[in-house]
Chain A
Amino acid sequence: MTRSNEFAVIGKTTSKTDAIAKVTGDARFATDIYLKNMLWARVMRSTVAHARIISINTEKAKNLDGVKAVLTSADMPDGKYGALVLDMGVFAQDKVRYIGEAVAAVAAVDEKTAARAVELIEVEYEELLAVFDPLEAMQPEAPVIHDDLAAYTTLFERTERAMTGNVNYQSNINTGDIEAGFAAADFIFEDTYEVQKQHPSYMEPNSTVADVDETGRLIIYNTTQRPHINQAILSSLLGIPISKIRVMPCHVGGGFGGKNRTLTEPTAAALALKTRQPVRLTFSHEEEFTSATTRHSGVLKMKTGVKKDGTLIASDVKLYYDCGAYAPTPNAVWLGAISSSGAYKIPNSRVEAFSIYTNKMMGGAFRGYGAPQANFARESQMDRIARELNIDPIELRLKNCLVAGDSLHTGQKLHSVRVKETLEKARDMVAWQSPKLAPNRALGVACGIFACGGFATSSIVKLNMDGTASVATGAMDMGQGLRTVMGQITAEELGISSDDVNVVIGDTDLTPFDVGIFGDRGTHTTGLAVKKAAEDAKIQLLEAAADAMEVDVSALEIKDKKVFDKSSDNRFLHFRELLGGGQYKKGGPIIGKASINPTEQPFDTNIVQGAASKMFSTYTFATHIVETEIDAKTGEVKVIKATAVHDCGTVINPAGLKGQIIGGLTTGLGYALFEDVIIEDGQVKNPSFLECRMPTAVDIPEVEFATVDEFDSRGPFGAKGVGNVSVINMAPAIANAVDAALGVRIKSLPITPGKILQGLEERAN
């Protein structure tokens, strides 16, 4: 087993390669692109939650001075898009399904004119009954939001309720014998949890500048987590070949899943193609809160059977995730289903997970990707079980937690699991005795699991004449540090320094396919492709050296940008000697390539139905303990300290890891305590950073973090992901601390002072 101290580059903090450009203000984001003759686009959006479109009149808008184009669905090819359910057009087709849905778009000489033109577009609606609650939407008499749902194209195995009524996706997990499991249980716990919408709140708005070059190619400058998917979607929606589209993402000002979407690109592209001028479409701050995507809100029902000694024996979970009016990523629901067992061994388990349409803004991907909801339910209930059975909460978790060799409830056998060690280490770090520290002070614990590694990616590594290298991948850096980590992996594999590696990401003309950066794929999956591509290049280089030095490849080794003959310290060739001259004695150029599409252990279809992915390579784990002070008079919760222990495999970049852990748990803190997109009759009441609050620098606890020693044989240099699991424990840990301190169990997020006071009042009565 290799450990990080055996690496030259891995495990050392390398300053982010893009940090200099970002601290000087030189880094260009999509919002910083101003092209000559650029037009400004604005989108006309639905003002009603559910209606049939009777007519759209764009004449007045078209006749306004300075307006260059107006588009509606009538001007677009008749395509729909989506990740698993192809349900959404670029503009509303026949019906509008939420307030904020795109109905038409305008390109004009300046933003003011575009805004004025949007006001001149007249739409006549026939309003329909709307439904805003996911459980109501599942009732047979509920208004149907997508009339020909069954006819939509889907890319998953349809289970019984999928694509019926308002359910667009359903996945099931059935392992063991659920009836027998509950029959064998000494205690049964049954709870219902509710979770709110949380906005990703990346700082940079969605933005695209679309241009048509002199050859007629479409050039897209955007902010995205998935350039190659953008390219494919543009191709299919606009009916133009991929070769005629170049997506050139700029620096991404935060994504967190929210930019694993294609929101501004098709509109800007269609307007640019129509006008043959560059077109900029940037979401207004308000559009971010009405017409982008949020974490799914929903209702979670959890029934768990437990033996007297605390052994979990049966679990029955129903997840009702509200995806809003369209379902851009039911994957979140699937990931919710997987993580709903928690990091525990449960022999008899049933999960039914639904993605349900309502007339609201869309639920999409957001850091944690379906797991924060499910883990809030699982980890809240674990503490309830611990309390009822009078077992220490950490002991109960240790008793049930997964270890390497165990199977997850999906049937997948796990090879890399250190959740037990995270629990033990966190317990030691806080010197855990019991949760309650003082009348108003308590600790709360939660652990969790997140699926890591899946979906296709690829990479190319090219060696230069001077022995430096370029690595290219279609994956993106949204700030998490992928660029830096890919450079480190390439450098480590080639035996050169990080400074010698040029990392090229995103640009679809220069990079090979990657499906997008989400769900802990970057370091693990893209990293693996990069490592293999570098290995391929290295083999080619060694072969060239073997030829030149007239020895067998097996006699050679690489150190300090030189190829040595192992038998003699004095006999070596510099990389530059092998690569110089721009010509290659043996083949060439030296370009390593690799692709990854993990399929090694597909889900067992006897256990799992409707899976949104073939498999996941591995899983990441973490334990968080929060120390909280709760004012029983005011209901205010203050998190004083958070302790985080992660099983993320080998650490590639310690400073980057720290940022991922603290950043993630701060997002988890906001989710736990106050972030909420409030929707009333389909309309978002708080569409801004002022009213939809994320934590500020004076809202954060002290954080102490650690990792446990783990080497995942399936990851690059033993690494796994970390970005998602860092989010998922804060809400249950805080709820558990509140319960420990006050005896009040909050089952709906956010955990507000009002709910705590109400709980105290109910307890008193």
Chain B
Amino acid sequence: MQPLPNFQYLEPETIHEAAKLLMDSGTQSMVISGGTDMLPSMRQGIFSPDVVISLQAIPHLRDVEWDDTEGLKIGPLATLRSLETNAEILQHFPVIAEAAHAVGSPQLREMATVGGNICLDTRCYYYNQSENWQACDQECLKLGGETCKAAPSGRAKKCFAVFSADLAPVLVALDARITLLSARGERHVDLREFYTGDGAAPHVKAPDEILTSVLVPKQMAGIFGVYQKYRIRNSIDYPIAGVALTLRLNGPDKSAKKLVKDVCLVISGVASKPLVVKKIPPLLNGKALDDALIEEAALLAKKAALPLANTGGERAHRKQMIYEFTKKAFEQAINNGSQIS
């Protein structure tokens, strides 16, 4: 067996202790949650931390609870499987359960956590490879090399690794906020501001920060949500095109045309972050959905997608899937309209 590199393993019992350990051990330490992405990457030599800090001994980090004043609070160690079956989630935000169910495989969902999914590293054919593989060519930008081999214009100075999580785009669309804690203090970040779009450094969490909580605000409860995932096979696969849509359809009464409110469309697997299609809310909010508007929205989403040949599938087709999924998502919203307030 190719062994993992050596490291020191720590299991602090409080989150503050964890933050202190993380700070004390400097940049060569990493927090492990489910381990499903991190350990294979460590085996390939992508990460080699001296210190691995597990949060599993800290109480309540797996909790998922509904708070009447704030909303849904999800602990970072809640497994994806626990989200699939959680009664509060199924009641308030079934789309979270849907997205969690779409991830990987049964075993991966038992192990993988919300925190891990949010902080998921970007992936790329030129990055997720062993050291032997990397030895055949210059290292990629994300691994410390000079240029990005996946760049649309040949090699470039920007990393184009792909963000390919299922849950994160849904949480972005639900306007989730996360809490980051370090020995320096605590801060709250809107999830949509968390991602940079730079494949090499995909999010703004500092190395000494720990994601301690996810909050889906109370006011989002009952919003319509849908997540569509394209993958090459139906299991053990990540999205190579994904669309998360949330919106409300409001009308003065049952007979009148319903108007769009609070729409948010996020695409995944086609950029270095879960990409909010910013032109969609001004296009649709306050209007009644019709075929022409949906078409326009779908074209906007398609245009925003930048799939490259650095992951599975075909570029043109993945773009097309964003378009089709966007249309399908809005159609589902209309079909569900009677249940939407």
Contacts and interface: CB of A to CB of B under 8 A. Distances in A.
B233 A674 contact: yes
Contacts of A99: 136
A683 interface: yes
Contacts of B129: 687
Interface in B205-226: none
B316 interface: yes
B235 A696 contact: yes
Point out which of B133, B314, B324 has the most chain A C-beta atoms below 10 A from its C-beta.
Answer: B133
Interface string A196-219: 000000000000000000000000
Contacts of A634: 230, 320-321, 324
Contacts of A633: 324
Contacts of A112: 3
Interface string B122-133: 000100011011
Main secondary structure of the interface of B (DSSP, over half): loop
A757 B317 contact: yes
Interface string B287-317: 0000000000000000000000000111011
Q: Which of the four size classes fits the interface of chain B?
A: 20 to 34
A713 interface: no
Interface string B312-340: 11101100110010000000000000000
Interface string A473-494: 0000000000000000000000
A385 to B, nearest CB: 30
B137 interface: yes
Contacts of B135: 47
A111 B235 contact: no
Contact of A284 (B2, B105, B233, B235): B2
B90 interface: no
A691 B125 contact: yes
Contacts of B85: none
A633 B3 CA distance: 46
B136 A683 contact: yes
A22 interface: no
A758 B132 CA distance: 37
A697 B235 contact: yes
Contacts of B125: 685-686, 691
Contact of B234 (A635, A691, A698, A754): A698
Contacts of B132: 45, 47, 286
Q: Which of the four size classes fits the interface of chain A?
A: 20 to 34
B133 to A, nearest CB: 7
Nearest to B105: A696
Main secondary structure of the interface of A (DSSP, over half): loop
Contacts of B233: 674, 693, 695-696, 699
A754 B316 contact: yes
B189 interface: no
B105 to A, nearest CB: 8
Interface in B221-241: 230, 232-237
A628 B237 CA distance: 22
Given A115-B2, A635-B317, A754-B314, A690 B236 contact: yes
A43 to B, nearest CB: 10
Contacts of A698: 234-235
Contacts of B324: 633-634
A589 interface: no
Contact of B317 (A45, A286, A687, A752): A752
A99 B105 CA distance: 32
A674 B232 contact: yes
A48 B316 CA distance: 31
A347 interface: no
Interface in B88-109: 105
A608 to B, nearest CB: 41
B1 interface: yes
A753 interface: yes
A202 B132 CA distance: 23
B35 to A, nearest CB: 16
A607 B8 CA distance: 70
A48 B234 contact: no
B174 to A, nearest CB: 26
Contacts of A753: 314, 317
Interface string A273-299: 000000000001010000000000000
Contact of B320 (A111, A752, A757): A757
A689 B232 CA distance: 13
Nearest to A689: B236
B95 to A, nearest CB: 21
Given A48-B136, A112-B3, A115-B2, A699 B316 contact: no
Given A686-B125, A698-B235, A699-B234, A752 B314 contact: yes
Nearest to B126: A685
Interface of B: 1-3, 105, 125, 129-130, 132-133, 135-137, 230, 232-237, 312-314, 316-317, 320-321, 324
10 contacts: A99-B136, A112-B3, A634-B320, A634-B324, A635-B320, A687-B129, A690-B236, A699-B234, A757-B317, A758-B316
